Amino acid sequence: MSHGPCWRRFTVCSLLVGRSVCSIGASDVAMLGMVCIVVGFTCIVSLGYADPEWPEDVATFKERRDLCDHFRGEEPYNAERRGFLAERVRTYCTGTDRELARLKAKYKDDDVVNAILGRYEEVIEAGQ
């Protein structure tokens, strides 16, 4: 996966900060550091979103199912937490088994989508 020009800018920026400590004043290094932080944050945030090559229905499923899997993995350490988690699991997990099967059938010839969908368990709702 190529991270594109944003990632390269962040890498170059990081190298400049490291090298410029000895050659420029502290306030300049601090300013350059802030620029790198902003560029780096922008890169990291953009890497977290769905790849533009993914179909919208796959990106929507991925977002929902990732939330589902997150809440399924949380510890219900008391009754209030147990209720909160049960509600989140109902909200984000219900229907995802069927949706995963539908998307796999729809995109059976798309290797990129199959790689994404192949990361998910096929049956999670039986135990709800």
pLDDT (0 to 100) of residue 22:
44
DSSP letter at 78 equals S
- Do 16 and 74 fall into the same domain? no
Structural domain total, the chain:
2
- Do 44 and 61 fall into the same domain? no
> pTM value?
0.58
What is the mean predicted confidence (pLDDT) over 63-90?
95
- Do 16 and 38 fall into the same domain? yes
Query: pLDDT digit string (tens) for 26-68?
Result: 555 555 555 445 445 444 444 454 455 789 999 999 999 999 9
CA distances to 19, 44, 52, 99, 100 from 57, rounded to whole Å, are 45, 23, 12, 10, 10
Domain that holds residue 30: 4-48
- Do 115 and 70 fall into the same domain? yes
How far is residue 120's CA from residue 128's CA, in Å, rounded to a whole number? 17
State whether residue 77 is helix, strand or coil: coil
